[in-house]
Structure 1
Amino acid sequence: RLWSAKREDGETRVTADVTEPPRFAFIGVRACELNAIAIQDRVFLGGPFADPHYQARREDAFFVAVNCGQAGGTCFCASMKTGPKAEAGFDLALTEMLEDGESRFLVEVGSDEGHDVLAALPREPATAADEATATGIVARTTASMGRSMPEGNIRELLLENLEHPRWDDVAERCLTCGNCTMVCPTCFCTSVEDTSDLTGTETSRERRWDSCFTMDFSYIHGGSVRSSGKARYRQWMTHKLATWFDQFGTSGCVGCGRCVTWCPVGIDITEEVRAIQGGD
C-alpha cells in the first residue's frame, strides 16, 4: 500500500504508508542475481527520487552468495559478464569444494557485517591450494555455459531492426503469458489500484506487480498502445537489451536464463538476437 486517505469532519487526511519491514537475509544468491539487485538499486535508488518502500527493504539486507560450481543449460551469464563468480554486492561469498565425498566451503568476505558473521563461525585459514581449487571450479563453470549472448552492439542492432520479420516469427509462438517477466530478476513493472469503502470516506492506493505482456499495461484512453503479441514481445526484448542502456546505463539482462527456462514454447532471447543479427 502506497497511501491511504480518510475524510472526516469535512477534511481529508492522506497518510503515506511506509512500514518498517523485517530484516532480510538472502542465502545462496548467485552472481547473476547480485548483478540484478545492483540494477534494481539503480532503478529505485539511483535517481533524484528514491523509492521509500524498496529502500526500506534494501537497507540492512544480508547476502550470502554462492559461486556456481555447475552451469545450467539455459545460463549465459559469462557472455553478459555477470557471473558465474560473485564479484561485488555480497556480505559473504561461498565456493563449494567437493573432495572425497565431503563438502568444504571457501569463504570470501565482502563487508564488515560479513566479517562479523564469519568471526562467529568455526573456520580455518584458506590455503593457496584451496584458492586454486575454487578458481578452477569457477573456470570450469564458465566454460560449460549452455548458451551465450551474441557479441556486438546489440542495442544498435535491435533499434535498427524494429520491423525485422523475426518479430512476426516470435509472435506466432509467443503466448504473451508473462512468464518471462515473472521470473526475470530485473523486471520491475507495476501498476496501481485504488479502492474505497462503501461510504466513500476512506480510500487507499496499492501498487501491484504487473507485466508489459498484458493488454492493460499499455492501455490509455482509446485502447492499448501495444495491442499485438508482436508489439509486446518487441517492447520487452528491446527494453531489456537496448533502451535500458539509455535509461540506466547498463543492459537489463544478467544472463540468468530463466526467461528461456520458463517459456512454455521455448523462446530463447539469445536465439532471437542471433537470428536478427544473422538476417534470418
Structure 2
Amino acid sequence: MPSATAPPDTGSAGCVLDRDGMGALVRELRARGRTVIGPTVRDGAIVLAELESAEELPYGWGVELEGGHYRLRRRADAAAFAHSAGPQSWKNFLHPERVRQWTADRGPDGELTVRAEPPAAASFAFLGVRPCDLRAIQIQDRVMIGGPHRDDAYRERRTGAFLVVVECTEPGATCFCVSMGTGPAAQPGYDLALTEVLDETGHRFWARAGTARGAEVLDSLPRRPADEATQDRARRGVAEAAGRMGRTMPPVDLRDLLADTLEARRWDDVAARCLTCGNCTMACPTCFCTTSEDITDLTGDHAERWRRWESCYDLDFTHLPGGSVRTSARSRYRQWLTHKLGTWWDQFDSSGCVGCGRCIVWCPVAIDITEEAHALHQESLADRAGAADGAP
C-alpha cells in the first residue's frame, strides 16, 4: 500500500543533511507524534528499537556475517548505516510475534462476555529501512491487506507508517538483493530516501522525498541543496555495492527451477543438515504464517485467544486428523523453499524472497538458500545432460 498520495517532483535533486540534520529528523518525527524505530546497538547486535534521539544510531559499528555467524565489529569511520540486516526485520512491528485477539470472562451469574481485542493504534516512523526490506514490507502488504483475507491489526499498524529508506553502500557477505531485484538502490514506496556519504569532505546524507508528506518533513529540517559531488559519490557508492554482493541466485527462472526439481537428490542432502528449528522463517521479513492458541486461568472463568507466529517447519503445522502431512525434514524444507521462491508467485504475483540473507546468517547449521538453489540448478543441468546422452 502506498504511504501517501501526491508524490513531489521525482526529478528533484533532493538536499543534503549533515549529522545534526539526522538528529533534527528524529526530533521532527517524534514531535509529529510518531514512534521512531531504527537500528541501535544492543545485546551484541544491531537491533531495531525505539529511538529517542539520532545519537542512538549505530555510528561507527559494522557487522561480520556468514552462514550461522554474526558479529559486531568496530569501523574505522563513524558511519551510521554501514551494516547489513540484523536479526529483526520491520515485520516484528507490523506483524508482531504475538497478538491477543479476544478475551472471555464468566460473570458471577454464569453469563459469558466475550470482548474482541481492538487493533492497537500506532504511528510508526521506520528509520533505516533497507531497499530489500522495503520490498519485504510491500510483499507483506500484498499478503495481509491486498487480498480477500485482510488482517485489520496489520492494516492499523501499516496505515500511515512513515518509511525512511537508507540505500546500501556496503552489502554483507550473505546479501543477494541484486539477484532478487530488490536493491541496493531504493525503489518507489518510501517517504524519504537517504544515502550515507563519508569522504574527505565530511559525513552527510543525500536525502530525497518520495511523497508529499516526506517533502513536508524534509522542508522542516536544516539542510542545504544537494551538490553534484555528493550526488555522484552517493550514486557511485550504491552502484559499487551492487557489484559486491556476497551471494547470488542462479540466473534462471527460480519458479520453473523449483517446479522441475521436486524429486531432486539435493533435498536429501539438505535434509540431513536441517534441524527443522524454524529460525529461517522467524528471521525472514516476509514469512507470515500464524496459528492460534487459547489459554484459561485455573478457575475457568477467564480465557484468551492469542495469535502467534507459526513455522512450516513445525511438525504440527500440517497436522490433520490422520496425522501430519509433512513428517520428514526433507518435505518440510522443500515446502519452505519451493513456496518462497516458486509458488509464492501463484499466490501473490511475486517472489517471497528479497535477498536480505537473514535466513543464512541465523541458521544454526549455516544452510544457505542461494547454495541450495545453485545445487538444484546444477543437478537439473546434469540430469538433462545425462538424458541427452542416453544415460539411464
Q: Quick check: 2:277–2:313 contact (8 Å CA) kept in 1?
A: yes
Indicate which of 169, 174, 178 corresponds to 2:274.
Answer: 174
Q: Is residue 66 of structure 2 the alignment partner of residue 5 of structure 1?
A: no
Q: Write out per-residue CA displacement over residues 108-163 of structure 1, whole angstroms, 9 at most, x where no aligned residue.
A: 11122211221121101112332222111111000011111112221122122111
Q: Which residue of 2 aligns with 1:235?
A: 335
Contact 1:194 1:205 in 2 (8 A): yes
Q: What displacement does 1:100 show?
A: 1.3
TM superposition shift of 1:7: 4.3
- What is the CA–CA distance in structure 1 between the aligned matches of 2:188 and 2:251, rounded to whole Å? 24
Deviation at 1:62, TM superposition (A): 1.4
Aligned 1:241-260 pairs, distance under 5 A: 241-260=341-360
Equivalent position to 1:24, from 118, 124, 134: 124
Instruction: Report the CA distance between 1:226 and its aligned residue.
Output: 1.1
1:152 aligns with 2:152: no
Q: Which residue identity is paired with 2:148?
A: P
Q: Quick check: 1:266 aligned with 2:358? A: no
Task: Looking at secondary structure, tell me which structure has more helix per residue.
Answer: 1
Alignment of 1:207-246 (within 5 A): 207-246=307-346
**Distance (whole Å) between structure 1 residues aligned to residue 252 and residue 111 of structure 2:** 59
> In the alignment, is residue 131 of structure 1 matched against residue 231 of structure 2?
yes
- Across the aligned residues of Structure 1 and Structure 2, the Cα RMSD in angstroms comes to 1.6
1:22, distance to aligned residue in structure 2 (A):
3.1
Aligned equivalent of 1:52, options 146, 152, 159: 152
Q: 1:102 aligns with which of 184, 202, 217?
A: 202
Question: Given the alignment of the two structures, is residue 35 of structure 1 paired with residue 143 of structure 2, yes or no?
Answer: no
Q: Which runs of 5+ in 1 are unaligned?
A: none
**55-64 vs 72-81, greater mean Cα deviation:** 55-64
Contact 2:284-2:358 within 8 A present in 1 as well: yes
Give the C-alpha shift of residue 11 in structure 1.
Answer: 4.9
Tell whether 2:191 aligns with 1:65.
no
Could you list the structure 1 runs, at least 4 aligned residues long, displaced by more than 6 angstroms after superposition: none
Structure 2: unaligned runs, 5 residues or longer: 1-99, 383-392
Q: CA deviation at 1:101?
A: 6.7
Q: Which moved more, 1:17-26 or 1:132-141?
A: 17-26
C-alpha distance in structure 1 between counterparts of 2:193 and 2:185, whole Å: 9
Counterpart amino acid of residue 191 in structure 2: D
Letter in 2 for 1:51: D
Residues in 2 aligned to 1:170 and 1:193: alpha-carbon distance in whole angstroms: 31
The number of residue pairs the alignment matches comes to: 280
2-structure distance, mates of 1:27, 1:219: 40
Q: Secondary structure at the match of 2:178?
A: helix
Instruction: Give the secondary structure class of the aligned counterpart of 1:20.
Output: coil
Distance apart, 1:10 and its partner CA:
5.9
Report the residue type matching 2:362 in the other structure: W
Compute the displacement of 1:85 (Å): 1.1
Range moving further from structure 2, 134-143 or 93-102: 93-102
Query: What's the counterpart of residue 213 of structure 2?
Result: 113
Distance, in Å, in 2 between the alignment partners of 1:48 and 1:212 is 22
For the residue of structure 1 that corresponds to 2:312, the secondary structure is coil
Whether the aligned pair in 1 keeps the contact of 2:280 and 2:359 (CA below 8 Å) is yes
How far apart, in 1, do the equivalents of 2:362 and 2:301 lie?
A: 44
Deviation (angstroms), 1:70: 0.7
Report deviation, 1:239. Answer: 0.6
Which of 189, 207, 224 is the matching residue for 1:89?
189
Q: Provide the secondary structure at the position in 1 that maps to 2:224.
A: coil
Q: 1:142 aligns with which of 238, 242, 254?
A: 242
State how far apart, in whole Å, the 1-side matches of 2:143 and 2:316 are: 23
Structure 2: how far apart are the matches of 1:273 and 1:221? 34
Q: How far apart are residue 197 of structure 1 and its match? A: 3.2
Query: Once the two structures are superposed, what CA deviation does each residue of 1:27-50 show, in whole Å capped at 9, x if it has no partner?
Result: 111000000000000000001232
Q: CA deviation at 1:25?
A: 1.6
Q: TM-score, normalised by structure 1?
A: 0.95
1:49, 1:177 → 2: CA distance? 28
Q: Is the 8 A contact 2:119 2:152 kept in 1?
A: no
Structure 1 position 5, deviation (Å): 2.8
Q: Contact 1:18–1:52 (CA<8 Å) still a contact in 2? A: no
Deviation string 1:223-274 (CA, Å, 9 cap, x unpaired) is 2211111111101100100110000000000000111111222211111111
